[in-house]
């Protein structure tokens, strides 16, 4: 079940050795009414993930939960990567399947290193079209990551846009004001380097984020995504609770 409330975004750039994803399984079980939008990334792309026992077993465990959506990671080098190579990665993910023994099918594709200059709109349109033509029906979601606020036209070629990926210091200073309100429903946010010793701060910042109507968010005290940080389980608890208790602002439509 996909809930309409703000989801937890999870850039899961961790290889699933035994127990490595356990904090994620625990969080998903503890927050059954929260949707987790999870990016699966075997090796900066699909590589041969579909034949790796670690991946098959861990992704099948994720798939046993109904409150997850899984996205296969591809990178596009800010529209400099050849369309053929990008297509090939997407095609590979499209073969990730459910069988009698395992289930590693994906719900869509996460397109990292998305460009922000509007001259690249046709490139992004091509990727969306390819995903729609290649991924199995109803598993064709497109989540792009420019990492900064971008022109509204790019939102025509994505279901979700990760419009913010930066440190907490930047978010706290001006970052939270930069994503136009009318784009927030389709905007996701990833904040790293959250202060480690700031009790209460996580809850109040998360409350603000929920109230501002973002689609899905991730907050970590780490500088990257190679671990589950010390605030991970608290963050998920806060999202699960705050999405049921916080009034979300009414967001305007973008002017055409």
Ligand X SMILES: *[C@@H]1O[C@H](CO)[C@@H](O)[C@H](O)[C@H]1NC(C)=O
Of 1-9, 38-46, 79-87, 129-137: span binding ligand X (CB under 6 A):
1-9
Tell me how far, at minimum, the Cβ of 95 lies from ligand X, in Å: 25
Establish if 167 lies at the interface with ligand X (CB under 6 A): no
Establish if 6 lies at the interface with ligand X (CB under 6 A): yes
Distance CA 121, CA 207 (A): 34
Tell me how far, at minimum, the Cβ of 146 lies from ligand X, in Å: 16
- Tell me if residue 66 falls in helix, strand or coil: coil
Tokens of 146: 């420019």
Measured from the CB atom, the residue of 81 and 186 that comes closer to ligand X is 186
Distance CA 233, CA 251 (A): 29
Establish if 223 lies at the interface with ligand X (CB under 6 A): no
**Interface positions, 176-205, toward ligand X (CB under 6 A):** 185-186, 195, 198
Nearest to 8 by CA among 201, 203, 240: 240
Establish if 4 lies at the interface with ligand X (CB under 6 A): yes
Establish if 172 lies at the interface with ligand X (CB under 6 A): yes
**Interface positions, 51-80, toward ligand X (CB under 6 A):** none
Distance CA 203, CA 185 (A): 21
**H or E, element range at 111:** strand 108-112
Positive/negative CA dihedral, 10, 142, 78, 86 = positive
Measured from the CB atom, the residue of 145 and 215 that comes closer to ligand X is 215
Establish if 237 lies at the interface with ligand X (CB under 6 A): no
Positive/negative CA dihedral, 193, 196, 202, 208 = negative
Distance CA 62, CA 183 (A): 29
Q: Which of 41, 102, 212, 215 binds ligand X (CB under 6 A)?
A: 215
Establish if 18 lies at the interface with ligand X (CB under 6 A): no
Establish if 252 lies at the interface with ligand X (CB under 6 A): no
Q: Which of 103, 126, 159, 181 binds ligand X (CB under 6 A)?
A: 159
CA distances from 180 to 10, 120, 234 (A): 23, 21, 28
Measured from the CB atom, the residue of 81 and 176 that comes closer to ligand X is 176
**Interface positions, 24-53, toward ligand X (CB under 6 A):** 32-33
Residue whose tokens read 């503890």: 30
Q: Which residues bind ligand X (CB under 6 A)?
A: 4-6, 32-33, 159-160, 169, 172, 185-186, 195, 198, 215
């Amino acid at each position: 079940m996909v809930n309409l409330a703000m989801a937890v975004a999870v850039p899961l750039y961790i290889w699933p050795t035994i127990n490595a994803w356990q904090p994620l399984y625990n969080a998903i079980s503890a927050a059954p009414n929260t949707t987790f939008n999870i990016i699966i990334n075997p090796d900066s792309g699909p590589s041969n993930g579909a034949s790796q026992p670690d991946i098959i077993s861990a992704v099948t465990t994720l798939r046993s939960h109904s409150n997850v959506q899984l996205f296969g990671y591809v990178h596009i080098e800010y529209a400099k990567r050849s369309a053929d190579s990008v297509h090939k990665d997407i095609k590979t993910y499209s073969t990730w399947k459910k069988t009698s023994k395992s289930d590693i099918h994906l719900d869509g594709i996460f397109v990292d290193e998305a460009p922000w200059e509007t001259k690249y709109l046709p490139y992004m349109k091509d990727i969306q079209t390819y995903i729609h033509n290649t991924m199995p029906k109803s598993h064709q979601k497109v989540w792009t990551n420019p990492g900064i606020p971008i022109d509204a036209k790019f939102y025509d070629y994505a279901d979700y846009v990760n419009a913010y990926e930066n440190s907490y210091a930047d978010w706290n200073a001006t970052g939270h004001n930069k994503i136009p309100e009318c784009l927030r429903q389709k905007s996701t946010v990833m904040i790293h380097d959250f202060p480690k010793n700031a009790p209460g701060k996580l809850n109040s910042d998360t409350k603000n984020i929920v109230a501002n109507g973002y689609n899905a968010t991730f907050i970590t005290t780490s500088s990257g995504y190679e671990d589950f940080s010390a605030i991970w389980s608290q963050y998920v608890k806060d999202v699960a609770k705050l999405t049921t208790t916080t009034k979300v602002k009414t967001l305007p439509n973008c002017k055409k």
